Structures are given as C-alpha cells and as structure tokens.
Structure 1
Amino acid sequence: MYRSAIFLKISLFFILLILPGTVACYAQSYKIDSLSLLLKSHPKQDDKRAELLLLLATEGMKFDPKQGLPHADEVLSFQNAIKNKNYVASAHRTKAGIFLYLSRFPESLESYNRAITVDKILKNEVGIGAALGNIGIVYMTQGKFPEALKYFLQALKKQEELKNELYVGIMLTNAGIVYTEMGDYKEAMSHYQRALSVFKKYKHFVGQANTLGNIGIVHSKMNNLDEAIKYSKLAIQIGDSIGNTRISARENGNLSGYYSKQRQPDQALKYGSIAIQKNEKINNIKSLGFNYQNFSDAYYQKKNYALSKSYALNALKIGQEVNVTDLKRDASLGLSEVYTALNMPDSAFRYYKMYKEYGDSISNDQKKNEITRMGMQYEFDKTEAVYREKQILAEGQLKQQQLQLALNRAELQRGLQQTALQKALLENEKLVSEEKQKQLIISQNNEKLQSNKLNLLSQQQRFDQLEIRQLWLYGILAIVSLLTVLIYLLNLSRIRKLKFASTLQLREAEQNNLKLEHQYQLSESELRAIRSQMNPHFIFNVLNSIESYIMDNDKRTASRLVQKFASLSRLILENSIKSLIPADKEWKALRLYTELEAMRYNNSFTYSFEHAPEISLSTILLPPMLIQPLIENAILHGIIGQAITDAHISVTMVQSEQTLIIKVSDNGIGLNRTSNKTLVNVVKEKSIGLKSIRERIKLLNLQYPGSASFSVDEGPEQRGTIAVISLPVLGVGSGEI
C-alpha cells in the first residue's frame, strides 16, 4: 500500500534587487542582528531603508518564511517615496516567494504579476525573466502543468536571450519536472543531467540538491528505489551542509515515502518524523499533508489502524485546504483501506468513492496535459515549417530584387557618363576663354603681389615674436598653478595621515588600558584563590598530621600524606601561572585536596568524583582553583564538627550543549543551621568564600559574555548544600594557557 506522493524539487530563484552593487554588496556581509541595528539607526523612509528591509526579509526567509513578509510590506507602504523603483519590484517578488512557500497561491500570482508590471516600466529584463519562471513554479506547485509549461518556456527563452547560464539551468530543471509529470522519464532525466552540470559549474548547492532529489524521484517512478534513496540522501547531505531546512524537510519526506514503498515502516517513520519537525518549523502546510500520509501508510503496514486513520484524516484535511488533488486522492484511498481493515464497510465505501472521484480528476488532468503537450509540439513544428518556407521565399525574392537593381544601376551609369561627357566639352571651352582672361589679370597683379608679400612677411615676423612671448607667459603661469595645487594636496594628505595616526594611537591606548585592567582584576582574583587554596591553616594542619603519624610510628600513612601533599603543592604551583588549565589536572588537584582532608579528619566523611563519560578531561580547559573553595566550605562548614555519621561529599561534572556544569554537594547541616558557630567563624576568616568565586565568574563573563554562572542552594529536605558552577566549554586552543 504505497500512496504517498513524492515532492518534486521546484527550482525557486528570487532576484530581490536588480541594481548591481546595492543588495549584492550587503547580502553576504550582514546577518539579522546587525541589519536590525542598521535599520533602527535609519528610520527615514527612503531607498536606504527599503534596501535594509529587503535584506532582512531575505535573511528571515532562511529560518521562517513568515519573518520576511512584514519587511516586504513595509517597503511597499512607502513605495511612492522610493526613487529606485527596482526596490518596489523586489518587494513584490519577495512577497510572492513567501506566499508560494506558505501555499497561498492566488496571492503569490498577484504579487508576481505586479512585479512584472513594474519591471516592464523599468525595462528590467532580468526581473521579468525571474517572475515568469516563478509564476510557472506557482502553477507547477498546484499541479497545473500546461500553465506551468507555458511560463517556463517564456522564462527559458528570456534567460537564453540574457545569457544567464545559471538561470537557464534552473529552467531546465523545471522543464524536467514537467516531463516527469507527463511520464516522459527519459526526457526528464536528460534535462536534469544538463541542469546538474550547470549547477556544479557555478557551485550552486541549492540547485544541485534540488536536481539530485528530482533524479531520485524519476528513479522512484521507474521503481528503482535503491537509486532513488541514494540520490535523496545525496541531496540531504548538501542541504544539511548549507543549513537549508526546506531541502532537508523535502528529502526526509521523500525518503519516508521510498522506505514505505519498500515495506520498511520503521525507516519510513524515522525519516517522516524529521520531515514533519522541519516542515512545522517553516510552516510548509502542503508538505505536512504528504508527511502525514506517509505516516498513515507506515502505521497501516504496522497494523496500527487507529494512528493510521488519524494521520490520513489530517492529510485529507490539508489536501482540501490547499486544494492538492494528489493528496486528497491518496488520503481517501488510505482511509478506505483503514476502514476496511476495521470492518467498517460504509465508511470504507464512502472514502473509496472519494478516491475514485479524485483519481478520475487526476486522470483527466493527465490527459489534458498530454493533449496540451502534443498541441504545443504541433504548433512548434508548424511554426517552424512556415518560418522555413517564408525564409526560402524571401531569399529568392531578395536575389531577384538584387539582379534588377544591378541592371538599373548599369543603365543609370551609362546615361550619367554621356551627360558628363557633354558637360566636360562645354567646360573645356569655358576654361580656355577664362584662362586667357586670367593670364591678363595675373600679369597685372604680379607686381601688387610682390609688394604685398614683402609687407606680409614683415608683419608675420612681428606676430611670431609676440606669439612666442605669450606662450612663455602661459607656460610659466600653468607651472606655478600646478605647483600650488600639488603643494596644497600634499599638505592636505599629510594632515589627514597625522589625524588618522593620532586616532589609531588613541584607540590602541584605550584598548590596552582596558586589557591591562581586565588582566589585573583576573590576576588579583586568581591570586586570592591561590592564597585560599594553600592557606597557612591547611598547610599547618597537614604538617601536624604528618608529625602525628610519625610520632605514632605509622610511617606508611605519614609517607602517603607527604607524597599526596607534595603532589598537591606541585599541581597548585604549576596551575597558578596559567589562566586556563586542562580539566584533568584540576580534577586531580581537587581529588588530592579532598583525600588529604579526609585523611586529616580520620576519614570522618566519604567523597566521590564523577564526570559524564562523553567528557574528555584532557581536551577541556578550566580556570584553576575555582572549585576547591566549594569543597573546602562543604567540609569545614557543613560536615566537620557536626557528628554526621554518613557524611559524604559529591563532585560531578556534566556537559549541556556549550556549557560545562560542575556541582559540589554535601549532606551536612545546610545553609541556615550550624551547631558550631565558633568553628564556622574561624573558617570564614581564612576562606576565600563565595565573594571571590563570584568575582571570578564576573571576570569570566567579561571575557565570554553570558557563559558563566554560580549558585548555592539548600539540599533536599533542607539537609546539606548544593553549589553549582556553569562554565563555557573551552577546548585546548580556545583560551590562553
């Protein structure tokens, strides 16, 4: 019983802004937070705000399509104030894309048509091509393949004219989808392979993932399910690598369908759960309907008819809401089979009738699609034949016209030559008479010319001298002006460099002061921790214990105390020169300290140190001497001198996401009770206490904001104390050691 529809990967492409150097220069540089800050700092409704709003809409759509809708609406709310109308067209395209993801098809078509209207006014061919392709996608999503094919062909022609090779690949993919739905799998596979080579060439990962998924669908329709699963998983790998939730949601849904067809219901439920989770996150209603149908099929195979019926009813409801005939047909058949299994023949027959009605509707649509495709092919062939005949006829007529024109030109040339000859004879006679007159005039004017030449020569010499002087004057003025401008520019550049250098030095000085102040505070806090951990009282008590064991001739115990005290001292001295140390060294120091205290107090309490198995202490960094005061307070404040027979101290370490949680708990007298106030006061005078720990937590939060915390609470049944420190997970190399 395999009825779950497979989602064809329709290649969506949005050209939000057409002007180069506007959105493109920001789109990869800013994220949602930084863009929001820029938007707050620019409340004026102008082109700049429109650009920022469209960028926010684009980023928001990556996580939730609804997030981009208010930003696009705001751009359109002040479109009359926008000078660059490309932003208005981009806002319409953005809204149309969001409506398409939300399965609001009429609104999507309306927005795309509005974008085309604006682009036609702007003569923006790129925007028109994008909108045509996406209108085809809207019809494709609704299963209206003739309309989709019409717009895909228009978009493909437009992209080929614009020589946009990447968008040609996208249109090839969409054409492959049409062929898949038409049942022409060979042609579909050919288009997908061509598109895949284009996407690989341009490293277009979304296109690669969609095309791989579509190839898997073709294999599925050919009942080659192993190949279908292989290509679908390749698409998921690409989608997850680029963080594309929609691709991952679709492919997990497809895998659910493939495994259901292979009669592997557990695998179908596994991948279907992932698909439902992701589609709910992006509010993809149509895809959720197919996911529910896959779940119904899987539970039917597991003979869990109650859950199968519930998911099938949800799938049918969504199919009716978004008007997807395939989904309504499959859900009706599933309900009919479930009610048959439940021995409810009336309900089974009612849903079977619905299944037949929807199936007949799809069959009619398929026939219409085939007739439309054949008609389009016939029209194309017919148009091509007429065009060729016209071209041959036009070429023949052109040759005849060229021959006639050549004859006319020859006759005209012959007449012109005769006329020119007659004119030449007349002109020759005139020239002879004029020549005689000119000879007389020349002889009369020769003398005048000679005298005029002498006068002109003298005048020319004087004029040349004046011109040379003028050129020298202009040259000197130009050189002086050029030198003045150069000196001014050099001084201006030098002043700017000095100002810039001064500003940089001031900023560096401020940063150095802040860094030195922070380091000073951190060093002071660490020094106080060292003093607390190795306070004289503790050292004195350990040495007294060693002396006591020596006096009692218990050399082995005394030797153990000396070795452990020496090891603890060496670890503390080694760790004290570092801001962060490997967790295994700190863990060892804490165990040594606790063991020394237990031996010093005659093992009057037990202790345990545990950490989660997935934590590798050698690869995690901890601030040194931060946890030891909590163990010291648990021993001295809560246990020693309280006559507790089952006294125990527990130190645990677990990891939650990017946070390391260290808990120190005891079953002593708790926070609000004490039986030995004198002892508590003495301990508090020597201990670093809670204030020092909070200071170090505060300094850690300055370096890693919001990542560290500290709390002390009463134990269960008001017995004992639980101290919890949360630290950021820092690996080796993350901090200074």
Structure 2
Amino acid sequence: MRAIFLFFITLCLPVGVVFSQIPTRSGTTERPFLLKGKVIDENTNGPVDKVNIEITGGAYTTTSGLGLFEIKARIGDELIVKSEAFETVYYYIKDEQFITIKVEKETREQAPVATSYKRNANKDLFNVYIDSSRAFLKRDAGKSIEYVTKALESVGGPKATDTQNAIVFETLGDINMYWEQYDLAIDNYKRSISSRLKTATRIKLASAYRKNKSYQESISAYTSLLNVTLTDYQKILVYEGLGDTHKAINDTEKSVTNYEKALFLSKAGSVAPKITDLNSKIGAVYAQSGAKAKAEVYFDNSLGLSKKENKQRAVEEKNTVADFYNQNRDFDKEIELRSEALEELKSMEGKKLKEDVNSALTPQRQNYKIADAFLGKMEYKEAIPYLEKSISEADANEDLVVEKDARRKLSEVYKDIGEFDKAAESYERYVEVVDELYIKKDQEISQATRFSKEIALRQNRITSLENERKLNESRYQLAFENQELIEKNNLVQKWVIGSLILIALLLLYTAYNQYKSVKRQKYANNLLALKGLRTQMNPHFIFNALNSVNSFIATNDERAANKYLSEFSQLMRSVLENSEEDFIPLSKEIELLELYVKLEHFRFQDKFDYSITVSEAIKVNEFVIPPMLLQPYVENAVWHGLRYKEEKGFLEIDFQQIDSETIQITITDNGIGRKQSKALKTENQKKQKSKGMGNIQKRIAILNDMYKDKVDVTITDVSEDTAGTRVQLTLKKD
C-alpha cells in the first residue's frame, strides 16, 4: 500500500512560516521555553494522538488524545514529528508561538510518495522503498521485506554504501522485532552496526538481546551505551532497558535503581508517557519482590498519571494494577478497577486498539477476571453473570482461550453450588471448546511455521543480493555461459517430471476403475444373495401356512379351513407382489404383519391374544423396510414360545419413533422362552436349523453391508427366569 503524505505548518498568527536553514541547538545559546503545538488531520481537522514529538538531542513527548503536545525547546532547535501514520516531519523552531501541524493521508497499494518538507529534497528511490517498507512493517511482514529488497536492488553501482547497508539491516531488524523473531533481529542489528555505528541501533540491539532472553549480553550492551554521548531521551531508554533486564533476572535492587534513574530523567524532560510507564514498572518490581506497600504507592501514581493521557493507556494501567491486587488477594479493589476498565472499554467501542484478541484489554478477559475475583471471595452466585458475559463476548470475538477457561470455571461453580445439570452442560461445552482450540492452535502452529519460512526466504534474498554485489565480473560471465546448459537440464527435468506425473495419473485411474468394478461386483453379488434368500423365504412361509390348513382339515373343521385359506390367499398375494422389492413402505409391512398375526391367532385362539400398536408420530409412508422382515420373529414367538405355554399367552408388537430418522419395533411374547423351547425340541428338530431365522439374519447382514447399518436387531429374555422373549429392531429412514 502506498501513502501520500502532505503537511504544512501554520502559526496561530496570520503570518505563515517560511522554512529555512537556521542554526541547530548545538550552536544556539537561546534560553529554553515550553513549546506548545497541535497535530491535526488535514481532511477532518481531527486531532492525531500518539504522535512522537522530539527535539534533536533533547526532550521527547507524544501528542495527547486531543493532538496537543508540550515540549522544552530553544530557538533554533530541530523539531522532529514522527508517526507510523505519516512520514517524518522536520521543522526548525524560529519563535515561541503555538504551532499547528496538519497532515493529510491517502492510502493506496503502492509505495508512499513524500511531498512534505525534507532535509534532502532530492530523495532517491532507495529511500522511497525504505519508507514504504516501514509503512508496511506492522501490517504485512512479507511486503515490508519485499520493499527492503527493492531498495537494495535500486542501488546503482557495484554495491550499496555502508550507510545504505546500515539502513537496510536496521529496517530488517525492526521488522523481526515487531514480529517477535528476536534471533534474526539480533543478527540484522549487528550487521547494521558493523556498517555504521549508530546509537539508536545499539539500543535496539540491547533490547533484542533482552527479548531473546540473552540477559547478560543485554546488560553488557546497555552498560556500554552509558559510555557514549546520548540524548536525554536515549538515556531514559538505556536506564529503562537495564531496569527491564534486571527485572527479568529477578535482580530487584538493580532494576529499581535503573528505573528510578530513568524516572528522574523523564520528569526533568517532562516525558509524560515515560513517567507513567516507569511508575508502573517500579510498582511491578516491588510487587514481584513482595514489597506490597511500596508497590501500591507507585501503582497509585501510575493510575493517576495514566488518566491524564488517553483512555487506552488508562485501561492498560488499571488492568496492571488490578493484577497486582489479585496477587495480594485484595479482591474488592481488583473488582472495582476491572469494572471501571470495562466501562471505559465500552466507551471505546468502534476504536481499534493496538492489542489483538489475546490482549487483556478485551471485555471477555476483564469479565473473566472479575468473576475469578468473586470466586476468590467465595461469592459464587455473583461470579456467574460475569462468567456468562465472558463466554458471550469470547464467543462473539472467537476468543477460544477465554471461552475455554470461562466455561470450565462456570462448570466448577455450578458444581460447587449443587447445580449439577448445569455443571454437566457447561463441562460438555468446555470439552467441545477444548477440541476447537486444539484444532485452532494446530492451525496457528502451521501458519507460524509457514510465516517463519516465508520471512527467512525473503531475508535470504536480501543476504543474497548483498553477496552478489561482492562477486567479480568473471563470476557473472561464468553464470551467463552456464545458463543455456541449466535451461536444457530444466527442460529435461520437466519432461521427466511430466512423464512421471502422467504415469502416476494412469495408475491412479486404473486403480480407481478396478475399485469401482469390485464395488459394483460386490453390489451385484449382494443383490443376487438377497434375491436367493427371498426365494427361500416364500416357500418356507407357504409351507408353514399350509401346515395350518392341514391341521384344520385333520380336525374336520372344513369351514375354518376355507376361511383360513381365504385369508391366506390374500396374504400370499401381497407377499408375492412385494417379493421382488428390497424395501417396501412401512405401511405395507404393517398390513402384511396384521394379516399374518390374524391367521396365526385364528388357529391358536386358545393359546394367545395379541396387540399391534403403531405410534401416531410415525409417518409410516416415509419409512421403508425389507419385506417379510418382521414375520419370522412373530412366527418364532408363536410357534416356539406361546404354543407351548400352559395358560393363555400374549403377543405385543409395538412401533415407536425414537427420532425423526429412526423407529424402534418391539416384538414381545410371554411364552416359555428360548431356553425351555430349545429343551422341548425333538431330536429331528435339533438336527434342522430354523430356515426363517437363519435367512432373516443373512438378509439383515447383507442389507446393513449395502446400506450402512440400516437395520439393527437385538433378542433378549423378558424376565430373569428366561421366560418370554423380546425382539427389538431399530430401523433408520435413510
């Protein structure tokens, strides 16, 4: 993206400012005064906050939320106005009047073209690309490094100058620092310093050592800087850096000493943001060492000072101090501060914060910490609303880490107060979030790996460019002569790779066709097997039915035999109509079953009664079932269970819907049971397997193989004495 920055500085008086070269601070003897000014947007006239305001070799400050600043200066000093939002502005102070700096920003996807006043009016392409790189530094690391590469490529002559190399590698170090690649940052800052010894870069190197946990190297680098000439602001940075490093290694005394030196210089130079930061850091060191009273004094200072800056800084400090109170179990003060922070966060809605979703400065994290404080006070019911708010905010902002912790904590709270159903529900969702978080973290690791690899490759390109400029002319000539051979080799390689890919595709195609052929054959075999089983089922059924007719004839009950044959012929007609179908509507199967049970009851009226119940919730025309699937189980219940019962038995057939996709069919009899029925079998019966039951088991197995577990059957005893039998058949819609 390219930004065009325009600015002009106007005095409050009608007379305009004419830019000219006047003596710098080092050559002036003017008395110091408090210079006041404002930075505003040219298009909206709105204030621009967080702008760095610095006097060369002197004081430093930043603009407030209203865009205002005050800084100690002298006539002839050089004022530097810097921000990531626009290009650096340089202005020489001519008088003590209030100044207004207007900036206009236009964002486009190309390198920024500066039209503001610069010390070097004829800025070359190298500097344009470096400025573009810095503009993208915090948005797109790859593009930022790409502009650094272009800057190096734009250098004329056999190699870049030492100054250009220093700028290139310092910029790379800045990119690495922002994206937390501290080892690469150290290497690049060292390269920059080897090309040009610059104090600001040395300070950055010392900071990179600390963030890379090379603490002794960091202390050594900061200490060596105290022996060189530093501006007041640079001294503040050095002492603050030493304080940070000693704090990291738990050296409380040295940490506080260096922080206090930095604080003294900040107060002397009226560097308001640093005064706030250093009070907070000293409080944190004392808190870390257990000096609660001292820590509280400095934290009170930092809280008061942060309120004078801007809302975000105030929220940051309230969160820091709230953490301190949490560590000391002063939960009431913690809750008070976090509640205030929440209200300020609400008032900042719509304003993009510097922090990301993992920052503590999010409503979900503050609500979670307030809930945790209430739990520390054993006030469980007060904690629940904040945990629920935290979950809601975390879900809306896709903050799985906070949602996970909040749901786990909510589950524990419900458990502690005895609401076990809610505890289980919350814990179940917590498990789901953990799974989601695991997937997300895995994705983040993959993305981070790709990102690091991409950055390394881009940076290697820059190193390669630097090395290429050191090669002599003969190397270039050799590369040119070998180019044709390389191209030929590449062509051969492409042909070989293409051939291998083609062969692989042909093999895959052949394997796929073979797989489909096997699958089709298996399907055809299953259809043939089903047809064979159905063919066996019909004679088996007819044989059993004719036995019934024979029994009526044997008893000279001609009328009953005729009636039975009439009903039987109707049943057989329906059976034969459906004999070629794999599945029929459930309604038809119920009709067949009712007719069959009616026939069996007609013969064994003195042996059993029956009932067939179909739930009104079942849409019988939407479910399908293999034909004659239920009849063998009913036949088995009558012939082997109820027929041998001394008293009159009962057969119950029940159709119930489990869910929209599944029904359950239960066939229950109170007959003699499977164990006693087996004992009553004759020797001839024992030698023969039940055709009906055997066939139906084979049919179910084949159908489940073809249609992915469509039918499930379980057979159990009704009572503990093994009397009675229950068959439960689960049927899925699809």
Give the TM-score normalised by the residue count of structure 2. Answer: 0.37
Higher relative strand content: 2
